[in-house]
Amino acid sequence: MSDLSLRSAFAVLLKRDLVLAYRRRAEIANPLLFFILITALFPLGLGSNKPMLQAVGPGVIWVAALLAALLSLDGMFRSDFEDGSLEQLMLSSHPVSLLVVAKISAHWLVTGLPLVVVAPLLGVLLSLPGDAIAVLVLTLLLGTPILSLIGAVGVALTVGLRRGGIILSLLVLPLYVPVLIFASDAVSTAAAGIPITAQLYIIGAMLVLALSLAPLATAASLRVSLS
Amino acid sequence: MPELAAELLECERNGRVLFSGLGFSLQPGQILMLEGRNGSGKTSLLRILCGIRLPDAGLVSWGGEDIFKLGPDYHEHVSYVGHRDGVKQDLTPRENLRIARAMGKPNPDVEIEDVLEFFDLYDLDDVPTRTLSAGQQRRLALGRLLVTRATLWLLDEPFTSLDRHGIDRFEKLMQEHGEAGGMVALTTHHRVALPDTKRINLSS
Amino acid sequence: MFMRWFHELGSPPYFYRFAGRLIPWLGGLCLVLLVTGLYLGLIVAPSDYQQGESYRIIYIHVPSAWMSLFIYVVMAACGAIALIWRMKLAEVVAISSAPVGASFTFLALVTGSLWGKPMWGTWWVWDARLTSELLLLFLYLGVIALYSAIEDKRQAARAASILAIVGVVNIPLIHYSVEWWNTLHQGPTVTKFDAPSIDVRMLVPLLIMALAFKLFYIVNMLMRARCELLSRERNSRWVAELAEADHG
């Protein structure tokens, strides 16, 4: 199979998922609203004391991002599993692990990228300084793809289960911990005016690691779930 | 063209052995009917032949090589229509076929228009698939068989929801596929009027 | 020779009998070591000049913590063997290891927190190792939950194996990130588990206990694996013969 047809299969699949998401755009908005709502609940619960909000802000926004990502994951393979498209995907004449990357990319564009875009607004709500907001956006930009990649493995393992949602959170959230730690630490550190190159490099390295391993694990998991 | 062969296949579900020691081969031009009562493992067998499901023992080979080792190199020869149609409800029939074509090895001799025409879907070409009737959706799923160059068709109850006219038409299509050197393995409860089909009964 | 034995061991009836013969011996040895280790550790070993008698919990805590990680790695390795060579027995060993590993992890957490009370005056401190151990427990619970949620047990074992392998890749990352987080948020705490020069009279019981725990794991895992094999192979001839022999 030539590169050209693989590239076109990748593009067709990516486009397919984007078109499907567009035709169901009301559903995409849900995780985003959830993200905003959760973040807005914290000042209501903790009080509007500015230094305190600044201190908890990075962690709160990142935890909300994890939960929003988790909420959106189920959509990645569920409908394809139910209507049989996933079987067809596994029977493609292209490597499944590469096609899976197309699906994960589409998922990130539809659910991860919007989080990055609204993050500055949430930073303002939690009175983060300007530098910290810039770093927040940067960490989300590097970190949310990791969430989609790791999440894909979890969804692939649980897609055949009727009540996969709760198990999914048990599988995926512990694996999200390193991203959470380094990303929220980067934002807090930036707020204190200390350089954060180390954290960014580490998150970048995790992204590379996830990008190279997660598709393989996802493809293997889908094979198991469909058998 | 290579042949499909199964040796000593065994399949169990939830600890119950559905079949074991099953062996057969399928040569170019042959049509194979898998028969058996409900729950005898016809669908499981088809899924094993697809390479979606692992057999609990035994081997399926294509041209003498294990299909699980071949992977995508086997799948480019295979087209499968299962219980679930595998079409996206929110896409139009044309979009669905275009995707199916890109996922496999496209057949340059067949235009998507011709396939839609053949399965009487041409007029429904720009509405979402979810508005189609069950029979029309099934015809769309069968349309996938024509858009790639797959030689081996694996069909699980392909006649479900089709009307008499549709059944006749599809039987003829299978026959032509066989005459052109293709292979078909199918399960069905319908009486099929195909000459010289090979039969395997899983219940006996 | 070795390969043939290895191959034979892979056949369920052979493994069932082999494990059955091994269990009493290993179990007995485990018991002896356990009693010796506890006696030496709790009674013979001198008390610590800083921590007094409360340090003696290391004889449970440290071997449990070692085992929690060791078993996870064994589980992932067996999972990989199960996936690559489709070896039924490796699936069974991987799956039978998970509850034992989870129990050791839980034990390490509980003893760590019991130790924390006299040391820090509180039951729980977000210490780096305790936090890593907590996350490890979640990883174990994930594997167990996934296995029990999938009905077909072969499929379930293969899914759990993949998860275990993903987990093993993540463990160093999790450990490293938690250490990072701990030093940043808490300031360097005096890590209580590091004893740079440990008295030989303290070290020997610790090593004996570690060995005893390892044997306990093997015995427990083999027992679970035997049960799992029986339930999976309940329709096969060798299980039927076994049941027959038991009745007759």
Residues 6+ apart with CB under 8 A from B114: B146
SS3 readout for B44-98? HHHHHHHCCCCCCEEEEEECCEEHHHHCHHHHCCEEEECCCCCCCCCCCHHHHHH
**φ and ψ at B156, to 5 degrees?**
-105, 110
pLDDT score, position C192: 47
For residue B69 the two structure tokens come to: 């080792």
C129 touches chain B (CB under 8 A): no
Task: Give the total number of structural domains in chain A.
Answer: 1
CB proximity C164 to A under 8 Å: no
At residue B90, what are phi and psi to the nearest 5 degrees?
-90, -5
Nearest to A221 among C142, C162, C173 (CB): C162
Kindly state the DSSP code that residue C48 receives in the 8-state scheme: B
Q: What is the ipTM of this complex?
A: 0.91
CA C84 to chain B, closest CA, distance in angstroms equals 12
**Mean pLDDT, 10 residues at a time, over chain B (204 residues)?**
87 82 90 87 91 89 90 91 90 92 88 88 87 91 91 91 89 90 88 78 79
List the single residue in C150, C158, C166 with the smallest CB-CB distance to A161: C150
Cα B155 to Cα B189: distance, rounded to the nearest angstrom: 12
CATH 3.40.50.800 matches B1-77+151-204: no
pLDDT score recorded for residue C37: 92
Secondary structure of residue A211 in the 3-state scheme: helix
Tell me the H-state helices in A91-129: 96-107, 113-125
Considering the domain boundaries, does residue A1 fall inside one? Answer: no
Would you call A22 an interface residue with chain B, using a CB distance cutoff of 8 Å? no
Question: Mean pLDDT for chain A?
Answer: 92
Q: Which domain holds residue A153?
A: 6-226
- Which residues in chain C land under pLDDT 50? 187-192
pLDDT tens, A103-154? 999 999 999 999 999 999 999 999 899 889 999 999 999 999 999 999 999 9
pLDDT at A1 over 50: no
State what percent of residues in chain B have pLDDT above 90. Answer: 36
Contact check, Cβ <8 Å, B52/A91: yes
pLDDT of residue C118: 81
Residues 69-98 of chain A whose Cβ lies under 8 A from any Cβ of chain B: 79, 82-85, 87-96
Give the span between the Cα atoms of B117 and C82, in whole angstroms. Answer: 49
Confirm whether A93 is domain-assigned. yes
Provide the token pair at A226.
Answer: 């469909």
Residue type at A223 in one-letter notation = R
pLDDT for residue A178: 93
Domain ranges, ordered by start, for chain C: 22-44+54-190+198-242
Q: Which chains touch C (3 or more CB pairs under 8 A)?
A: A, B
Nearest CA in chain C to A169: C142
pLDDT at A6: 87
Q: What is the pLDDT of residue C187?
A: 45
B62 contacts B4 by C-beta, under 8 angstroms = yes
The partner residue sitting opposite A227, judged by closest CB among B53, B84, B148, is B53
Q: pLDDT tens, A170-181?
A: 999 999 999 999
- Residue A96 pLDDT more than 90? yes
**Minimum Cα–Cα distance from B15: chain C residue:** C232
Task: Name the percent of chain A lying above pLDDT 70.
Answer: 99
Residue B154: the pLDDT is 94
What are the extents of the domains in chain B?
A: 1-77+151-204, 84-149
**CB-based contacts of B123: which residues, under 8 Å, 6+ apart?**
none
Chain B contacts of C154, Cβ < 8 Å? Answer: 56
Residue type, A54: Q
Least confident segment among A34-43, A204-213, C60-69, C185-194: C185-194
CA A98 – CA A100 distance, rounded (Å): 5
